[in-house]
Amino acid sequence: LSELEALMERMKRLQEDKEDEEASQEEMATRFEKEKKESLLVISGGIWAFPHFAVLFPAFDDEIVSTDVSRYVEDPGFGYKDFARRGEDHLPTFRAQDYTWENHGFSLVNRLYSDIGHLLDEKFRMVYNLTYNTMATHEDVDTTTLRRALFNYVHCMYGIRYDDYDYGEVNQLLERSLKVYIKTVTCYPERTTKRMYDSYWRQFKHSEKVHVNLLLMEARMQAELLYALRAITRHLT
């Protein structure tokens, strides 16, 4: 099977499995923890760092250009850091049902800045729901499962867990080269190269891959807002 056909087959199988039998809460919690720990091993540039060795998948390091972004920011030292150190047994988890955008963040941000919540919510929904119902040359394809996996994987990298989502879907739908690309674009965008962009979903249209970038950026923004707004809520109460 080609990369595209294999992906579509996995999407179809996931849908059938979901209709036949749902995973238990314990199984879904275990799968989230596994995915969360694995995301810490993904380093931008294509390296998977395991305790005693490193794996290049693929070898992007030779193309990474050291980009000086200091001219664009006030604090050049400010940037993404993994939410936990590698090797820690108990990694912090932000349980989404305890503080969600829909039920908590939206109303708070509207209180702080009138109507901005509506604008942000419309932006999140538009990008999340955007689809041509196509996958490369295939038409009339329901891409909901794939879009949800992309969005939730970004939140997983930030330690955010949805209790009603089976994170086993992430591992089945997102291959390693795509996970490397996701972490690079989301956490270290200045390190992204064309070779990384070209390395995944080779049969997909550019418009579809650009949509991936939009999803990643909106997922990251929502994750950052959730942490910030939860901290403000705790301060106010």
Separation between Cα atoms, residue 211 and residue 100, nearest integer Å: 24
Strand partners of residue 49: 54
Share in percent of the chain as helix, strand, coil (round to 5): 60, 10, 30
Domain boundaries, the chain: 3-59+82-236
Spatial distance between the Cα atoms of 50 and 43, rounded to a whole number of angstroms: 11
* Structural tokens at position 206: 């550019």
Return averaged pLDDT per consecutive 10 residues of the chain, 237 residues in all: 88 82 84 87 58 41 56 72 66 90 95 93 96 93 95 94 93 92 90 90 93 96 96 94
How confident is the model at residue 135, as a pLDDT?
A: 94
pLDDT (0 to 100) of residue 62: 46
pTM of the predicted protein model: 0.85
User: In this predicted structure, what is the pLDDT of residue 79?
Assistant: 75
pLDDT score for 54? 39
Exposure string over 200-226, b if 16+ CB within 10 A, otherwise e: bbeebeeebeebbbebbebbbebbebb
Give yes or no for a contact between 62 and 199, defined as CB atoms under 8 angstroms apart. no
